[in-house]
Structure 1
Amino acid sequence: MNISPRTPATPPSVVAQIGRLPELKMPEIKALWQKLFGADTPNYNRPFLERRIAYRLQEVEFRKVDAKLLERNQRRIAALLETGKVEKSDRDTRPAAGTVLTREYRDVEYCVVATADGQYEFNGRMYPSLSMIAREITGTRWSGPLFFGLKGPAKPEVSTRKGLRR
């Protein structure tokens, strides 16, 4: 059972599927539960069922293996074994697939979903970087990870002399 209309070439995104859950009738919710969990619904509490279905849809979609993530993790493990620490430059600010990033900007809340292929879904479109989304929202160039709070602003280095900053 599909919970949103689609064409054969473009399956509905997980975000779209989850967004349509409140529109489904209870028999459709039960049928979707049966499909996803292989059992009858445990109760008739609709908010509970919708939350569990939304979680399962994300689990199914984002369970796919990300080759780039595996490669980065192998490099990080090798560096950790060799030096005993992970280099700062090798730290990854890319969120895990399925992560929903939310940012309020000028009294408007914006939501972005990280996808399994390393892209980001925003307003029904795919973007290769958070910086492109931040630029679309603000109209100016921003560091996407900084704009969405994945990393903090650079801290100025403190000189060895008291109170002096470089």
Structure 2
Amino acid sequence: MGQVILGVGDYGASNTPGDDVKTFALGSCVSVIFLDPKTRTVGMAHVALPDSSINKAKASEKPGYFADTAIPALLELMSKFGCDKRGRGLVVKLCGGANVMDTNDTFQIGKRNALAIKKALWAYGMGAVSEDLGGNFSRTVTISVSAGQVVLSSPGKPNWQL
């Protein structure tokens, strides 16, 4: 039983029973979650910004950092576990995209991240079956490979499933 821990801009996957894929403290960042019922593989990307054009060097070094590069990178990784490279058959879930630091709602990074991720998913003919986006609180996300469950937590709130 292990954990695949993802930081900001990281992406990872596992199909090892007993493993968890986890990321901490999503604020304006958005977690893109892929679950493949056929191969029992789960994958996640911790996306920080919507568009890689602002820093092509960072995008090539850490493609999970940007919405437009995270989706193809995660699909490529999932394909190494036997999942369809174009995302066919994957269950998609999204969470995060909160407004935790921008009290005046000036930059709307969370909303922009969520929209950019949806746009990137649509290019593959994919869409989320469930989402927990927005609000003004951070989220920690844990995906259980064995159960195929996505559990969210936030300080002062009971855990909930997505």
State whether TM-score is above 0.5. no
Q: Give the structure with higher Rg (CA).
A: 1
The structure with the greater share of residues assigned to helix is 1
